[in-house]
Amino acid sequence: MKSYLFTLFLFGFCLTGNEAAMCQFASGNYRVQYGVIGQNIYFQLMVSGIPYGMNGWTAVGFGNSMYSGLDVIAVRLLNGRVLVTDEYVRGYTRPFPDTNNVNVQSAQYTNGVLMATFSRPLNTHDYPYDTPINGCTPWKFAAGLNRMSADGSMFHHSSHYSILFQSRIMNGDETLSALDEYVAPGLRLWMLIALVSGVLLVMVVIVCCFMRIRIPRTKRQIDLIAARRKMRGKKKSTVNQNDEKSTAIVMNSMQTRNNSSGNTRKEKDEKVIRLQTILRGYIQRKCYREGILSTINEHFSTFYNAIYRNFL
């Protein structure tokens, strides 16, 4: 990823007369020098290392953002010609020319180097298309040579930098000073989104670890877990039904024998019930562990008949 760090060179030399301290912004093969004389600001823009036959654009803008509106001095390289225009853009669209308040001193392209010298008043009073820059105003630099169509229509810039400048009066001379430099608003937004996403991801991982949440990776695993739970429910239901049927059979049998026998038969029946309950529980547990549900009644009947014959 291309670095958004850039160096701002502030070098000034206070001269007599109408000359003022000069400033410079440079990024790669892109350089702009500027200074204030009286009520005008002068620019010398240079882009070097341009391949032969390449078209493109660069610019210096004034204002907070494209969304709120930017005053733009656009410099185009079109078929070897250098064009400098005063334009305005509002929203994320292409700029359009407004009232021209830019004076071009020279504009040329030679041996892969684009150079343009131009000036504009600090305050043109052309509101809202021209932004006054004799106060605290953000500047925008569309560094390098950006893509452009064959008819000169601008495409979105590949990179741009923002610097906050303030012009001030010092000893009767108007000069510029850099107050702050910051990354473009779009990059700041992406950085904020990345930071918030990272924090949310860490929080989700921590919650999953503490709650020990097991998240199946495939649909097959989800179906397998559901099938196992369903099978366990069927096993428990079958065991309970068999247990209820066996208990009902024994109780009915005991009640019939009690009605037709005396105390001796009643004592034998109570012993049979106790032994039968013990054996029934053992058989059911054994069959449940082995998964042999269909043999519960068979084993139960065998043991019951044996006990009944021995005790009665």
pLDDT at 241: 61
**Positive/negative CA dihedral, 233, 239, 245, 251:** negative
What pLDDT does 109 receive? 93
The CA distance from 224 to 258, in Å, is 51
Domain layout of the chain by residue ranges:
7-182, 232-311
Burial of 45 (0-12, 13-18, 19+ CB in 10 A): buried
Q: Where are the alpha helices (DSSP H) in the chain?
A: 185-211, 219-260, 263-290, 296-311
- Give the type of residue at 240: N
171: its two tokens: 């000893």
Q: How far apart are the C-alpha atoms of 8 and 184, rounded to whole Å?
A: 15
The b/e string for 59-97 (b: 16+ C-beta within 10 A; e otherwise) is: bbbbbebbeebbbbbbbbbbeeebebbbbbbbeeeebee
Per-residue pLDDT tens digits of the chain, which is 312 residues long: 333 323 232 323 222 233 445 788 888 888 999 888 888 889 999 999 988 888 888 888 888 777 677 888 989 998 889 999 988 887 777 777 777 888 999 999 999 999 999 998 888 777 776 777 777 778 888 877 888 777 777 776 655 555 544 444 333 344 444 434 444 445 556 677 888 888 888 888 887 776 655 555 677 767 777 777 777 766 656 555 666 666 666 566 666 655 555 556 667 667 777 777 777 776 666 665 555 555 555 555 665 565 555 544
Is 7-182 a CATH 1.10.3260.10 domain? no
- The model carries a pTM of 0.46
Token pair in block for residue 309? 């014959």
For residues 43 and 32, the answer to whether their CB atoms sit within 8 Å is yes
**Under a CB-based contact definition with an 8 Å cutoff, are residues 154 and 136 in contact?**
no
pLDDT at 110: 92
The pLDDT assigned to 170 comes to: 35
Separation between Cα atoms, residue 68 and residue 179, nearest integer Å: 21
Q: Give yes or no for a contact between 82 and 114, defined as CB atoms under 8 angstroms apart.
A: yes
Token duo for residue 126: 């052309």
Question: What is the pLDDT at residue 143?
Answer: 79
- pLDDT value at position 88? 84
pLDDT at 292: 55
How far is Cα 90 from Cα 63, in angstroms, rounded to an integer?
A: 11
Which residues 6+ apart lie within 8 Å of 168 measured at CB? 174, 175, 177
Place of tokens 């099978």: 231
Give the pLDDT score at 46. 93
CA distance 11 to 212: 61
Confidence at residue 182, expressed as pLDDT on a 0 to 100 scale: 42
